[in-house]
Amino acid sequence: MTDEWSGDIGCGVKYFSQDAVIKLAPKAGIDVSAAATPAEKLKIVQKLMEDEDPRAIDVYTSLGCYLGHTLAYYSDFYDIKHVLLLGRVMSGKGGDIILSEAKRILGEEYPDVKLNPALPDEKFRRVGQSVAAASLPEIK
């Protein structure tokens, strides 16, 4: 997928955001075509996840797989110890599945990579990105 901000392809943002959920939903058999906005499409999948629909579980398991492999790859370039997972995609049961699958991938396929992905409480998951962005220092 092409990142609309940079024009680059392969950006992590496209694989860990509502864009990824929207891309995977039809492949899992979830019709999101009637929803108008990306946020509404995400809500459809999240509602199915609340009901433990196997199709939604497949979407979130895939995202966790992406995340596990990507964190291992990123650790080749950065000295990572802790990763805080934030955003609407991480809300609810879906976020728990993403975290669990990422940890499974890291443990089974990259046992030498020692980093700790974690989820904050539910409220902070949803608004944490805004808090984190607002707390970044100004670079001059």
CATH (domain of 104): 3.30.420.40
139 vs 16, 79, 94, 101, CA distance in Å? 26, 22, 35, 36
The tens digit of pLDDT for each residue in 14-47 reads: 888 899 999 999 999 999 998 889 999 999 999 9
126, part of any domain: yes
The yes-or-no verdict on residue 128 having pLDDT over 70 is no
Write down the pLDDT at residue 129: 66
In a domain, 1, yes or no: no
Is 117 part of any domain?
Answer: yes
pTM, rounded to two decimals: 0.86
The answer to whether residue 140 sits within a structural domain is no
Residue 25 lies in a domain: yes
Count of domains for the chain: 1
Does the residue 138 lie in any domain?
Answer: no
Write out the residue range of the structural domain in which residue 61 sits: 12-133
Under 8 Å between Cβ of 116 and 81: yes
Asked whether residue 7 is domain-assigned, the answer is no
Contacts with 85 (C-beta within 8 Å, 6 or more apart), sequence order: 67, 95, 98, 99, 117, 118, 119, 125
What would the pLDDT profile of 83-124 be if each residue is shown by its tens digit? 988 888 998 999 999 999 999 999 999 999 999 898 887 777
In a domain, 79, yes or no: yes
